[in-house]
Structure 1
Amino acid sequence: MIYLDYQATTPLAQEARDAMLRWLDGPDGVGFGNPHSSHKLGRSSAAAVELARDRVAALFPAGGTVIFTSGATEAINLAIRGTAGKGAVAFSATEHSAVSDTARAAGKSHELAVGEDGICIADQDLATDTRMIAVMQVNNEIGTVQPTLEWHRRAKEANALYLCDAVQAYGKMQVTGADLIAVSAHKFHGPKGVGALWVRDGLELNAVQTGGGQEHGIRSGTLSPALCAGFGAAAKLAQEMMVQDAEHIEKLWHRARDLFSDWELNGSADARWHGNLNVRREGLDVARLMSDVRDVCFSAGSACASGSGRPSHVLRAIGLEDTQAKSSIRLGFGRYTTLEQIEEAALKINTAAAAQEV
């Protein structure tokens, strides 16, 4: 099996798994304590959580607080709902549904336009009632890297908050400044079920769920030391390997581009994370292709929207017709992908796609 769906999730790093095991020990072990308890086992678990928090914080801008959550979706909900007030949330047309659906549900919202390359230009007009701007750093479907520094500046000028979904960027590139940043551990070789919201110093959030008041009184619920430890280990490893990972992915990208040279690229070729190759082929039946190439894991869109039968809202936002969007595939690769896997997958996909044209 060849795995090329790194935007959906990434393989768990051995270092993250090892870090988690101690905190999964049973009744004869020492790692099962509640990190919010005051006895010895609780304090030991709490120390593991705080070590993880420091490791996760090291990949964020200086001057902020890391709040652990169950993932990026909860982090985004906390950011949008925890700052609720008068005004609207403006979000790019290619945002993840965790942002767009939450913004619509939480109150008034406005959609920001993107170009054919997927870039959301920061000099477009903003509604006067904008209280928050949400533009992700790297798009999960087409890999477009947004001008987040410009959007942060624009938000300051508009006296609005800037929320950045950095799920696809964290651990792979420098995460740029914002007021609020959401990330998820399983997108960079950490465990599923844990994420974080980074909150800049001086910004106060309202709790959106009541309970025990854990996580600075903002996010209630007992933390999992094992998940936090895995998150922290993955963050530490990503920091150590960021340059090496990027160089490896560049090699994979250039080879993949050669192998799929007769496919049309979706999104920007330049302002793009090169671990994401989203391409289309006229007349392609993607459902049939995926059935014919079952030993290669790739995507016809985001994992969150797969099975809906609807064309990708991201591909439609950059101007593709429904038929073009439905003839597109996404290949995602990273640290543990080999050049040989890219070449074998390309041969299988290209062969199956060519067979449809006969």
Structure 2
Amino acid sequence: MERPVYLDYNATTPVDPRVLEAMLPWFTDQFGNAASSHHLFGWEAAAAVEEARRQVAHRIGAHEKELLFTSGATESNNLAIKGLFESSPDKKHLITVRTEHKALLDVAAWLETRGVSVTYLETDTEGRITADQVAGALRPDTLAVSVMWANNETGVLQPVGEIGALCRKAGVWFHTDATQAVGKVPVYVPAAHIDLLSFSAHKLYGPKGIGALYVRKGTPLALQMHGGGHERGRRSGTLNVPGIVGFGKACELADPDLSALALLRDELERGILSAVPGTRVNGSVKYRLANVSNLSFPDVDGEELLLQLSRIAVSNGSACTSASVLPSHVLKAMGISDERAHASIRFSLGRFTTPEDIRFTLRYVAGIVADLRRSS
């Protein structure tokens, strides 16, 4: 069976062959536990972990001691937000955004059951908020603000630097889920005034099951994983050495200059807009990732459209909620109707996308939509 053209890089990326090559020895010959401090196998593993920690920290402009490894961005979000509020029980207010990933929104909802008040900022029709909105939501009991750097469904970028500067001045902790941003746009935590930052390896050509949380020096954080006191006492659990090595290599290889990829994305988007009447772009076209185009196709059934697009791998929302028949909460928060949200498709390109992939997808999508409209 012929494999589909893969255009779902925001869901996950393939492991780069150079990343896999770096990982392989740590499954076999160099299999030691990084916490085994009395023999060579443990020393080798510990040294590899610290080298990877330097590589990952360098990618975001952090000091290596400010970076701890987790199982992925979902765990990082949980540790960051729950850890903050459990360490500071006198403050009970969180500010976030309606278009956040469920890995953050579900944490916020859980906090509400524990007496925390959450303000959910509304975006404009392009999916963006402003620092002024954050300023207007601040209260004396505000402990933290959490704003996703780049949206996973639309690619829309938030003004993270402005929000971070505002939070630093107000004495409020600032967290960002940068899972889609790291490796795609320049990320430098000191300049953006970030206190906590979550991200994962599998969004930048590293392995699944490994992520990181940046914790700026002096940021309070209550433990969420108790055990052996790993990661400087902030996250217990045996370290995933092969995954960590792969994460480090992926960060070393990452190049946020995606200008060539943007040209392919624009070719695809312009072609579909021209060939399929009524198609609309969802989200800002000025402030977005270079590899993402979220398009809505009116006058077709969204579920049927996704089923018919069997020769390309795309999605109609977050990979974590792709089994849901509900319309995207991100698109709804932007004021998009249920019908249009249901008929929206996210195309996300990546390192191994070719011009031939784009030309095929353009012809294929235009033909499928035309067939569906005729049949309806």
Common fold: TM-score over 0.5: yes
The aligned runs of 1:142-221 (5 Å cut-off) are: 142-176=154-188, 177=192, 178-221=194-237
Tell me which amino acid in the other structure corresponds to 1:66. Answer: L
The unaligned stretches of length 5 or more in structure 1 are none
C-alpha distance after superposition, 1:114-142 (max 9, x if no partner): 10010011102114132111111110000
Secondary structure of the residue aligned to 1:242 is: coil
- Matched to 2:43, the amino acid is R
Give the number of the structure whose residues are more often helix, by fraction: 2
What are the Cα deviations for residues 180-217 of structure 1, in whole angstroms up to 9, with x where unaligned?
00000000100000000001122232211210010010
- Percent identity over the alignment? 40
Q: Is the Cα–Cα contact under 8 Å of residues 289 and 349 in structure 1 kept in the other structure?
A: no
| Dislocated runs of 4+, deviation >4 Å | none
Contact 1:89 1:108 in 2 (8 A): yes
Aligned to 2:6: 3
| Structure 1 equivalent of residue 123 of structure 2 | 114
Match of 1:140 in 2: 152
Q: Which residue of 2 aligns with 1:58?
A: 58
Alignment match, 2:243: 227
Partner of 2:92: 87
* Distance in 2 of aligned mates of 1:21 and 1:62: 27
**Pairs within 5 Å for 1:238-277:** 238=254, 241-243=255-257, 246-261=258-273, 262=277, 263-277=279-293
**Stretch moving more, 341-350 or 2-11:** 341-350
Aligned counterpart in structure 1 of residue 325 of structure 2, from 304, 309, 316: 309
Distance 2:309 2:103 in 1: 30
Task: Give the TM-score of the pair, scaled to structure 1.
Answer: 0.95
| d(CA) in 2 for partners of 1:271, 1:353 | 28
Deviates more, 1:55-64 or 1:314-323: 55-64
> How far apart are the structure 1 equivalents of 2:80 and 2:315?
29
TM-score by length of 2: 0.91
Partner Cα separation in structure 2 for residue 141 and residue 220 of structure 1: 32
- Give the Cα–Cα distance (whole angstroms) in 2 for the partners of residues 234 and 227 of structure 1: 10
Contact 1:9–1:186 at 8 Å: present in 2 too? yes
CA offset digits 1:270-301 (Å, max 9, x no partner)? 01112110000112222222222212100011
**Structure 2: unaligned runs, 5 residues or longer:** none
Comparing 1-10 and 84-93, the one that deviates more: 84-93
Q: Distance in 2 between matches of 1:345 and 1:254?
A: 13
